Amino acid sequence: MLILTRPEIEALLDYPVAALAIENAYRAVSQGRVNLPPVGHITFPEHDADCHIKYGHISGDPVFAIKVATGFPGNAAKGLPTGNGLVLVLSADTGEALALLHDEMMLTDIRTGLGGAIATRLLARKDGKHIAVIGGGVQARRQIEAHAALMGDGLSFHLWARSREQAEHIARDLAQTARITVSDNLEQVCRMADVIVTTTGATAPLVLNDWIKPGTHITAIGADAPGKQELETALVARADALFADLSAQCLDHGELSTAAKAGMIQPTHVTDLGDALLDPDKGRPNDAAITIADLTGLAAQDIAMARIILEAHERA
C-alpha cells in the first residue's frame, strides 16, 4: 500500500486541477452519482474538540475514500496543530487498500477553501469586491487564498478575528497573495461587505441580522457540527435564497439547522450548490437578494482530492 506524507502530497497538488475536481464533485452529488452515507461525528467535550468521519464513492470512479479529520482547538496552547487527519483510499473494483494519505488535514483545509470560493464565485454579485473574512485560523487563510485564486484581481479582504495578533499574522503571510485589511470592528466589517465568509468554530451567533445590507452574499463555513452557529437565526430566516453543499446534511447539523429546527425555514427553501452549478437560473435571484451558502463538507470532495493526488503520483 502506498503511504504519502504531507510534504509529498503538497508537492503533488495542482491547485487549478483541484478546483475543477471540487466543482465537479458538487455536480456529481446533485446528479445522484455519489454514494454518501451519513457523516460520522465524535465529540470530546472535555477538550472542546471533535472528529469527523466522511466516506463515500462517486459512480464510475476507480477508487473510494474514508476520511478522518480531527479538530482540537486546545492544541494551539501546546504548540501542536489544531487539526489533523488522514485519508484511506481503496479500490472500487476489488476493495483493496491502495493508499494512505497522511495529509494532517491539509487536503481537507484546501478543499474547504476551494469549496467556499466556488460558492462565492457562483452566488455573489458580479460587482462585489469587498470580502469580509471572519476568523483567524487555518480556514480563514485558506478562504483568502482560494477566493484570490478563483475570483481574480480587484478584491479587497477585510479580516476580523477574536485575536488581532492571529489576523495580523495571516495578513502578513498573504501580503503577496491578496490585499488584506485587519479590523477590530466586526459590525463595521459586516455592514460594508459585499461578501462575508465565516470560518470560526463559534457556538453562538457572531454575525447579526441588522448588520447585513441587501445584496450581500454569505458563505458560511464554520458551523459543520451540532452546536455550532455563526449567523443569527433571524438572518438565515430573512435570506432571499439559501444554498447548501448538501441540504439534508446542512439542515441537520449546519448553519441552517437552527432556523430549520425552529420552523423558520423549510427544506424546500434550500437549493443544493450542485443544482445551481448545473442550472444558473437556480443561483442568485437578483442583485438585491441576500444569499447564504451553508457548507458542511462532502465526502465527494475528499474522494476527488484523493483521486487527483493518486493520479498525480502515478504520472510523477
- Could you give the domains of the chain? 2-107+299-315 (3.30.1780.10), 125-294 (3.40.50.720)
pLDDT score recorded for residue 18: 97
Q: What is the mean pLDDT of the chain?
A: 96
Q: One-letter amino acid identity for 159?
A: L
Of the pLDDT bands very low, low, confident and very high (cuts 50, 70, 90), residue 225 is confident
Closest CA to 74 of 83, 63, 86: 83
Percentage, residues of the chain above pLDDT 70: 100
- Confidence category of residue 269, pLDDT binned at 50, 70, 90: very high
Predicted confidence (pLDDT) at residue 237 exceeds the cutoff of 90: yes
Cβ atoms 243, 119 nearer than 8 A:
yes
Whole-angstrom distance, CA of residue 246 vs CA of residue 103? 25
Whether 153 has a pLDDT exceeding 90, the answer reads: no
Average pLDDT estimate for 132-152? 96
Pairing of the two strands 241-244 and 270-272: parallel
Which of the pair, 153 or 137, is modelled with greater confidence? Answer: 137
Specify the pTM: 0.94
For residue 200, give every residue at least 6 positions away whose Cβ sits within 8 Å of its Cβ, in sequence order, or none: 134, 135, 137, 206, 222, 230
**Alpha carbon distance 291, 257 (integer Å):** 16
**pLDDT band per the 50, 70, 90 thresholds, residue 294:** very high
Average pLDDT rounded to a whole number, residues 8-25: 96
